[in-house]
Structure 1
Amino acid sequence: MIIIADGGSTKTSWCLITESNSKVYFNTEGYNPYFSDTPVIISSLQRSLPENLKKTEVTELYYYGAGCSTPENNEIVAAAMRAVFTNAKVKVGHDLLAAARALLGVDAGFAAILGTGTNTCYYDGYDVTMNIDSLGYFLGDEGSGSSLGKRLLRDYMRGYLPEGMSKIFKDTYELDNEAIFDHLYNKPLPNRFLASFSKFLYENNNFSYSREVVKESFDTFFKNLVCHYPGYQEHTFNCVGSVAYNFRDILEEVALENGMEMGTIIRSPIDNLVYYHQVLAKSDL
Structure 2
Amino acid sequence: MILIAESGSTKTEWVLVEQKDLIQQSSTEGINPLIQTRREISRSIRLNLPSVFFKRRLKKVYYYGMGCTSAKEKDKVMISFTAQFKSPVQIESNILAAAHGLFKNKTGIACILDTESASCFYDGKTIVKSVRSAGYILGNEGSSATLGRIFLSDVLKGLSPQRLTKDFYEQFHMKDDDIIQSVYYHSSPPDSFLDSVSNFLTGYTDDDYVFNLLVNNLRNFFIRSILQYDYKNYPVRFVGSAAYNWSNTLRDVARRFGVNIDLIEKSSMNGLIEYYAQNMNEQ
* CA apart distance, 1:177: 1.9
The residue that corresponds to 2:210 in the other structure is: 210
Matched with 1:188 is: 188
Long gaps (5+) in structure 1? none
Mapped partners of 1:212, 1:75: distance in 2 = 42
SS at match of 2:200: helix
CA contact (8 A) 2:20 2:274 kept: no
Report if the CA contact (8 A) 2:32-2:65 is conserved.
yes
Where does 1:226-265 land on structure 2 (aligned, <5 Å)? 226-229=226-229, 231-265=230-264
RMSD: 1.7
- Alignment of 1:147 onto 2:143: no
Q: Contact 2:108–2:123 (CA<8 Å) still a contact in 1?
A: yes
For residue 270 of structure 2, give the secondary structure of its aligned residue in structure 1: helix
For the Cα contact (< 8 Å) 1:113–1:239, is it kept in 2?
yes
- SS in structure 2 at match of 1:12: strand
- The answer to whether the Cα contact below 8 Å between 2:119 and 2:225 also exists between their aligned partners in 1 is yes
Which letter does structure 1 place at the counterpart of 2:130? N
What is the letter of the counterpart of residue 100 of structure 2? R
Q: TM-score, normalised by structure 2?
A: 0.94
SS of the residue corresponding to residue 50 of structure 1 reads coil
Q: Look up the SS of the partner of 1:197 in the other structure.
A: helix
Could you tell me how far apart the structure 1 residues matched to 2:193 and 2:41 are? 18
2:12 maps to 12
Corresponding residue of 1:122: 121
Larger mean Cα displacement after TM superposition, 198-207 or 63-72: 198-207
Helix, strand or coil at the partner of 1:233: coil
CA offset digits 1:230-262 (Å, max 9, x no partner): x22222320111111111111101111111111
**Higher mean C-alpha displacement, 50-59 vs 209-218:** 50-59
Identity of aligned residues (%): 32
Q: Does 1:64 align with 2:42?
A: no
Report the Cα distance in structure 1 between the residues aligned to 2:121 and 2:22, rounded to whole angstroms: 33
Correspondence for 1:177:
176
CA distance 1:208–1:277, change in 2 (3 Å): same
Letter in 2 for 1:243: A
Q: CA 1:21–1:143 in structure 2 vs 1: closer, same or farther (change >3 Å)?
A: closer
Aligned match of 1:201: 201
Query: Residues 125 and 281 from structure 1, CA distance in 2 versus in 1: closer, same or farther, beyond 3 angstroms?
Result: farther
Q: Distance in 2 between matches of 1:50 and 1:181?
A: 36
Query: Please, which moves more after superposition, 121-130 or 155-164?
Result: 155-164
Rate the CA distance shift 1:48–1:266 in 2: closer, same or farther, 3 A. Answer: same
- Per mean C-alpha deviation after superposition, the further-off stretch among 71-80 and 52-61 is 52-61
Match of 2:40 in 1: 40
8 Å Cα contact 2:204/2:210 also seen in 1: yes
Q: Could you tell me how far 1:193 is from its partner in structure 2? A: 2.2
Matched, 1:267 2:266: yes
TM-fit CA distance, 1:22: 4.3
User: Given that residues 55 and 84 in structure 1 are in contact (C-alpha distance below 8 angstroms), is that contact kept between their aligned partners in structure 2?
Assistant: no
Q: Distance in 2 between matches of 1:64 and 1:8?
A: 9
TM-score, normalising length from structure 1? 0.93
SS of aligned partner of 2:53? coil
Residues 277 and 154 from structure 1, CA distance in 2 versus in 1: closer, same or farther, beyond 3 angstroms?
same
1:112 paired residue number: 111
Q: What does residue 225 of structure 2 align with? A: 225
Aligned length, in residue pairs: 282
SS at 2:13 equivalent:
strand
8 Å CA contact 2:107, 2:234 repeated in 1: no
* Structure 2 letter corresponding to 1:90: V
Name the SS for the 2:24 alignment partner.
strand
Cα shift at 1:204: 2.0
Residue in 2 aligned with 1:162?
161
Moved more, 119-128 or 203-212: 203-212
Uncovered stretches (5+) of structure 2, i.e. residues with no partner: none
Q: In structure 2, do the counterparts of structure 1 residues 268 and 282 end up closer, same or farther at CA, with 3 Å as the change threshold?
A: farther
Contact 2:16–2:53 under 8 Å retained in 1: no
Q: Which amino acid aligns with 2:83?
A: A
Question: Which amino acid is 2:64 matched to?
Answer: Y
